[in-house]
Amino acid sequence: MNPKIECRNISKVFIQKGKQRVHVLEDISLEVMHNEFLVILGPGQSGKTTLLRIIAGLETPTSGQVLVDGKEVTGPGQDRGLVFQSYMLFFWRTVMGNVEIGLKLRGVDKKKRREIAQHYINLVGLQGFEKHYPHQLSGGMKQRVGIARAYANNPEIMLLDEPFGQLDAQTRMFMEKETERIWQTEKKTVIFVTNNIDEAIYLGDRIVTLKDKLPGRMDAIYDVPLPRPREHTDLEFVKLRQEITDRSELVL
Amino acid sequence: MERSVANEVVKHVKEKKPWTVGRVLTNEYFLYVVSFFTFLIVWHYIAAAGLLGLATPEATLKEMVRLMSVRLAGKNLFGHAWASSRRIIIGFAIGAAAGLPLGLLMGLNKYINSIVKPVFDLFKPMPPIAWISISILWFGIGEPSKIFIIVIGSFVPCVLNAYSGIRIIDPELYDVIRVLGGNRRQEIFYVSFPAALPALFAGVQISMSVAWTCVLAAELVSSRSGLGWIIIRGMKLTKPELVLGGMAAIAVVAWLFSVAASGLEKVLCPWKRGIKEL
């Protein structure tokens, strides 16, 4: 079977202030299968976000290419949904207004888009909060809106950029469970970027690790064959955690 | 009342505490009243002692009540208040109608910004009242010259706030529209305008207060009507209660304008209202 997403030798160099060259990504090649949950695990400053933005079409790679269904990505598109690290909700719109925005941009009529948006608001567990504004919500609830907004646009691929980085540990674990539940309910091809090993093992079908320090390079790929839902205390879970930690310590 | 939403507990609590002396004394509304009455009492004693050439609060209030029925130069107090307000409404409307779109365009398009900014920066620090002579030269001493000053005065803060309202928008908010499949026009209509709206209102509020300064200056220089003219009239007749009455009337009307602007903002920016249900 052909991969859903294919990254071929992606490198990215940013030019800062006209002359400074910042090498962010170096020779990234990876494949993501249909409906696979791929986690990209890397420490801060390893170019994870840039990689995701390139796949989303918001940045162009300096060299290499991204293929979705065998076609080269030239810009952002409705087939790829993005969940932002800092939520990026429209503070002037209600929860409903935020979730339905993608449908509105495409000119879906009001009744239909309300119906679809309501479905995804319910899916992320925010029923009863449709008329609330983002500033009235907690961090976890805000990111639920972010996820519902991306889902409501019905993309084939979901890209999540450290979506729970700003949450406390408890809420984060709960949101990981929720992410799995939502993904199991409506399967998508997912690329999930994180710097948290537990989160990576809990969620990923496969984990791609990046080396620390710029430019980000591929380090290793781990299969996670554990059955879902996973337990953080499961022996296999802990073993894999140790394996990844040991390896990244060698790098350090 | 407690309910669990998405595993995050939301509590509805109404705080109810008994009224004690300490709570009354530290209540903010109580302190507002204390502050206001202290001001009136100090004012009264200074005026009654014949210091600083002031009229007492009572005399000022009586004079204002008298002016509501007695006509000065053909208009009672409301007539004069309307004369000033009318100038402000017209001048401000023209200034904002020109300034807000210009500021938005400067924020959205760097070429327009590069063309307009040098000239605008030249005029920006100039106090609007400096235009009085030129205004009279161009428009005579009638209404248009006063309105012109107000247009100039309200134009500048409108441009500045509309421009910065656009510039402070987080560029990632545009990415949201882009990844959802939107185009540049949709970025402007669904992000730029709504996100800049609070800044536009800040500009409107500042413009209003500048407009009041302008209208007074214009009326002090040449006029037969308006609240500024009442003050000049009081000065010429050496009637301190007339001067203070005019000042008090200005405070009241200017306050009403700012209340109206805040009210409009609450209607147009519902997300800025307080947390109601949580």
pLDDT tens, A142-166? 999 999 999 999 999 999 999 998 8
Closest CB to A84: pick one of B172, B190, B275.
B172
Give B-chain residues touching A88 at CB under 8 angstroms: 170, 172-173, 175-176
Dump pLDDT digits (tens) for A113-124.
999 999 999 988
Cβ atoms of residues A200 and A193 within 8 Å: no
More confident residue, B162 or B51: B162
Please indicate if any CB of chain A lies within 8 Å of the CB of B191: yes
B113 belongs to a structural domain: yes
- SS3 at position B135: helix
B104 belongs to a structural domain: yes
Give A-chain residues touching B179 at CB under 8 angstroms: 56-58, 76, 80-82, 150
Sorted by sequence, the CB contacts under 8 Å of residue A95 that are 6+ apart come out as A121, A126, A129, A130, A131, A132, A133, A134, A137, A145
| Residue B8: pLDDT over 80 | no
Give A-chain residues touching B180 at CB under 8 angstroms: 78, 81, 101-102, 105, 149, 153
pLDDT of residue B276: 47
| Residue B274: pLDDT over 80 | no
Pairing of strands A63-68, A37-41: unpaired
B38 belongs to a structural domain: no
User: B277 vs A132: CB contact, 8 Å cut-off?
Assistant: yes
Place of tokens 């920006």: B124
User: B5 vs A135: CB contact, 8 Å cut-off?
Assistant: no
Cβ atoms of residues A237 and A70 within 8 Å: no
- Mean pLDDT in residue range A44-72: 90
Closest CB to B172: pick one of A88, A135, A174.
A88
Cβ atoms of residues A175 and B8 within 8 Å: no
- Mean pLDDT in residue range B137-156: 90
Mean of the per-residue pLDDT values for chain B?
87
B197 belongs to a structural domain: yes
How many domains, chain B? Answer: 1
User: How distant is the Cα of B180 from the closest Cα of chain A, in angstroms?
Assistant: 5
Q: How confident is the model at residue B1 (pLDDT cuts 50, 70, 90)?
A: very low
In chain B, what is the greatest distance between 2 CA atoms, to the nearest angstrom? 74
pLDDT of residue B14: 62
Taking the C-alpha atoms of residue B7 and residue A247, their distance in angstroms, rounded to an integer, is 36
| Residue B9: pLDDT over 70 | no
Tell me A186's DSSP state: S
| Residue B174: pLDDT over 50 | yes
User: A105 vs B172: CB contact, 8 Å cut-off?
Assistant: no
B15 belongs to a structural domain: no
pLDDT of residue A155: 92
Cβ atoms of residues A190 and A157 within 8 Å: yes
| Residue A252: pLDDT over 50 | no
Ranking A82-91, A213-222, B5-14, B43-52 by mean pLDDT, the lowest is B5-14
User: How distant is the Cα of B75 from the closest Cα of chain A, in angstroms?
Assistant: 45
Neighbours of A139 (CB within 10 A): 16
Dump pLDDT digits (tens) for B160-171.
999 999 999 999
Taking the C-alpha atoms of residue A215 and residue A9, their distance in angstroms, rounded to an integer, is 13
Cβ atoms of residues A120 and A148 within 8 Å: yes
Closest CB to A125: pick one of B6, B175, B180.
B6
Tell me B56's DSSP state: P
Chain A interface, Cβ < 8 Å to B: 56-58, 75-78, 80-82, 84, 86, 88, 90-93, 101-102, 104-106, 124-126, 128-129, 132-136, 138, 140-141, 144, 149-150, 153, 171, 174, 178
| Residue B2: pLDDT over 60 | no
B31 belongs to a structural domain: no
Closest CB to A80: pick one of B7, B179, B269.
B179
| Residue B92: pLDDT over 70 | yes
Taking the C-alpha atoms of residue A134 and residue A144, their distance in angstroms, rounded to an integer, is 11
Ranking A43-52, A196-205, A242-251 by mean pLDDT, the lowest is A242-251
B51 belongs to a structural domain: no
Which residue out of A82, A87, A90 would a mutagenesis test of the B interface target, given it has the greatest number of B Cβ atoms within 10 Å?
A90
B50 belongs to a structural domain: no
pLDDT of residue B12: 57
Peptide bond into B57 cis (omega under 30): no
Element (H, E) at A6: strand A5-16
Taking the C-alpha atoms of residue B63 and residue B52, their distance in angstroms, rounded to an integer, is 19
Give residue B234's identity as a one-letter amino acid code.
G
- SS3 at position A155: coil
Cα-to-chain-centroid distance, residue B169: 24
**CA B15 vs CA B1, B12, B18, B156: distances in Å:** 13, 10, 10, 45
| Residue B33: pLDDT over 90 | yes
Give A-chain residues touching B172 at CB under 8 angstroms: 84, 86, 88
Report the CATH number that the domain containing residue B241 is assigned in CATH: 1.10.3720.10
Taking the C-alpha atoms of residue A35 and residue A206, their distance in angstroms, rounded to an integer, is 12
Element (H, E) at A223: strand A218-223
pLDDT of residue B15: 65
Taking the C-alpha atoms of residue A219 and residue A40, their distance in angstroms, rounded to an integer, is 11
More confident residue, A19 or A150: A150
Q: How confident is the model at residue B4 (pLDDT cuts 50, 70, 90)?
A: low
Which residue range forms the structural domain that includes residue B251?
61-66+74-277
Give the up-direction half-sphere exposure of residue A21: CA atoms within 13 A in the CB hemisphere: 7
User: How distant is the Cα of A246 from the closest Cα of chain B, in angstroms?
Assistant: 35
- Mean pLDDT in residue range A196-219: 87
| Residue B109: pLDDT over 80 | yes
pLDDT of residue B102: 95
